[in-house]
Structure 1
Amino acid sequence: MINIIVEPALLLGVLFAIVMLFLYGLRFVNPELATDWDIFITTLGIVYSSIIVIHGWRLDPILLFSQVLLIFITFSFCWILVRQREIIRRLIEDF
């Protein structure tokens, strides 16, 4: 049975799926910054977000908070990784 209820877990799962799709879209917008590893990470992120959307109604508040922390840590690592790729690309172009 799939039970999707409008609650914070649904918002969290949809937000994570959108960010993962933006990471995948980086491949088309700026291919110099994209790597093959991004496809693997994006696939895992979409699977994770679908699990959160479908089974999020079962989460206790403390488990939901741990998922929120995990997602924000993932967002920060993705942001830092893309920025570092941009800096490295600019340094390589200067030489």
Structure 2
Amino acid sequence: MINFSFGPNIFLGIILALGVLLLYFLRLVKPEVARDEDIFFSTIGLLYSCILMVHGWRLDPILMFSQLLIITSVLVAGWENIRLRGLIIKISKKKKK
């Protein structure tokens, strides 16, 4: 049974999907920062967001809160990882000069 109604599960799924799509499109914007494993993590993140949107209505409030914490920590860690990749590229270019 699929019960599709707008709730916090849809909101979390959309935020996660946008985050992993940004990771996927990083390859087009800054290819020197992108890694091959980003495609794998983007695919897993999109699958996870789709599952959360379709079956998230079953989650009780404490499980929804745990999903919120997990998604927030994953997106923050991903943001920091991409930022650090850029800093490493910048430092390596400085040392070559």
TM-score normalised to structure 2 length: 0.95
Matched, 1:85 2:88: no
Runs of 4+ in 1 over 3 A off after TM superposition: none
Cα deviation for residue 2 of structure 1 reads: 2.1
Counterparts of 1:21 and 1:83, CA distance in 2:
16
Residue correspondence of structure 1 range 21-32 to structure 2 within 5 A: 21-32=21-32
> 2:38 matched to 1:38?
yes
Tell me whether 1:5 sits opposite 2:5 in the alignment: yes
User: Percent sequence identity over matched residues?
Assistant: 45
Distance in 2 between the 1:15 and 1:83 partners? Answer: 19
Length-normalised TM-score, structure 1: 0.97
> What per-residue deviation string (whole Å, max 9, x for no partner) do you get for residues 40-88 of structure 1?
1000000000000000100000000000000000011101100110110
Shift of 1:4: 1.1
Structure 2 gap ranges (5+)? none
- Equivalent-residue separation in structure 1 for 2:87 and 2:61 (angstroms): 39
Aligned residues: 95
Whole-angstrom distance in 2 between the partners of 1:32 and 1:39: 15
Instruction: Give the equivalent residue in structure 2 for 1:57.
Output: 57
